[in-house]
Amino acid sequence: MTNGKYVPLESYREYPVEEMRQRAGSFRAEMQRRRSVRDFSDRPVPREIVEECLRIAASAPSGANMQPWHFVAVGDPATKERIRAAAEKEEYEFYHGRAGAEWLGALSALGTDHQKPFLETAPYLIVVFSQSYGVAPDGRQVKHYYVRESVGIATGLLLAAVHHAGLAALPYTPSRPGFLNEILGRPENERPFVVLVVGYPAAGALVPDIQRKAFEEIVTFA
Ligand code: IYR
């Protein structure tokens, strides 16, 4: 705490404990309504909503504040079509050999297969890229730190923001996702981290009948 330049923390707000309890509880209830959706409507979503959510993602903390991410919000139907075609080709190989029996067994409750119609139906695909290093204006490489942790946090905020806005999302992790660099023209220092499929759920959308682990199983106070 000696060398950096500091400014007063003006944005922090303290709430009375009762209000804190109420806020924590209502946010919990709100977040517990979130489900991953695979059946999307083609109903358009205003671009400014997606922009707001991306600004929230961009507020995430990151290793040495390097912000090692880039987000591509794909709304163009022709680009979505190319992404779907390339993704389904890779997924076909995944589901017909590459995955192996154990992985396919773990996925069976989700009922997924190589077909990814949502990549065309949903109005937006937010492709989150992680940057393994940065590139300074003079072309020199800039080291990035804790890249996966940082991009994971940003993606979590993005997912929460999309849900909070009243939209549905699917964090889709394509098998062998290198085609996303090609289609979206992203540079060599960037790797696709996840595709957040965003839109309204289709009327009558179904979700897998699965449960969260018990709280006691996943939490220890020490
Ligand atoms: N990428 C494939 C397989 C898949 C893998 C995991 I781990 C999932 O939680 C869900 C699917 C697909 O999206 O179908």
CATH number, position 137? 3.40.109.10
Query: Which tens digit of pLDDT belongs to each residue from 43-93?
Result: 999 999 999 999 999 999 999 999 999 999 999 999 999 999 999 999 999
pTM tops 0.95, yes or no: yes
In the chain, the percentage of residues whose pLDDT exceeds 70 is 99
Query: For residues 107, 101, 193 and 206, what is the CA-based torsion angle, rounded to 10 degrees?
Result: -20
Task: List all residues 6 or more positions away from 109 whose beta carbon is below 8 Å from its beta carbon.
Answer: 208, 209, 210
Query: Considering the domain boundaries, does residue 142 fall inside one?
Result: yes
* Probe target for ligand 1 pocket from 35, 88, 107, 176, with the most ligand atoms within 8 Å of CB: 107
Band of residue 1 on the pLDDT scale cut at 50, 70, 90:
low
Residue 16 has pLDDT above 90, yes or no: yes
Q: Is the CB of 124 under 6 A from ligand 1?
A: no
Of 210, 77, 62, 221, nearest to 149 (Cα)? 62
Ligand 1: which of 93, 96, 108, 175 to mutate, most ligand atoms within 8 Å of CB? 175
Write out the H or E segment, with its range, that includes residue 128: strand 124-131
Over the stretch 165-204, which tens digit does the pLDDT of each residue have?
A: 999 999 999 999 999 999 999 999 999 999 999 999 999 9
197 C-alpha to ligand 1 centroid (Å): 13
Residue 210 has pLDDT above 90, yes or no: yes
Ligand 1 atom closest to 175 (CA): 1
129 within some domain: yes
Question: What is the residue-averaged pLDDT of the chain?
Answer: 97
Work out the pLDDT band at 219, boundaries 50, 70, 90. Answer: very high
Tell me, using a 6 A CB cutoff, whether residue 64 lines ligand 1. Answer: no
Atom of ligand 1 nearest to the CA of 99: 3
What average pLDDT does range 99-125 have in this prediction? 96
Which of 179, 181, 86, 172 is closest to 131 using CA atoms? 181
Could you tell me if residue 55 is inside a domain? yes
CA of 139 to the centre of ligand 1 (A): 36
Whether 110 lines ligand 1, by a CB cut-off of 6 Å, is yes
Structure confidence at residue 3 (pLDDT): 84
Whether 199 contacts 128, CB under 8 Å: no
Query: Would residue 118 count as lying in a domain?
Result: yes
Task: Provide the number of structural domains found in the chain.
Answer: 1
What is the distance in A from the centroid of ligand 1 to the CA of 221? 32
User: Rounded mean pLDDT of 147-156?
Assistant: 98
- Going from the Cα of 177 to the center of ligand 1, the distance in angstroms, rounded, reads 12
Q: Which pLDDT value is given to residue 169?
A: 98
- 49: in domain: yes
User: What pLDDT sits at residue 74?
Assistant: 99
Residue 10 located in a structural domain: no
Q: Please report whether residue 100 resides in a domain.
A: yes
Residue bearing tokens 């940003």: 154
Distance between CA atoms of residues 101 and 94, nearest Å: 11
**What pLDDT shows up at residue 40?**
98
**Is 181 a member of any domain?**
yes
- The domain in which residue 170 lies consists of 36-203
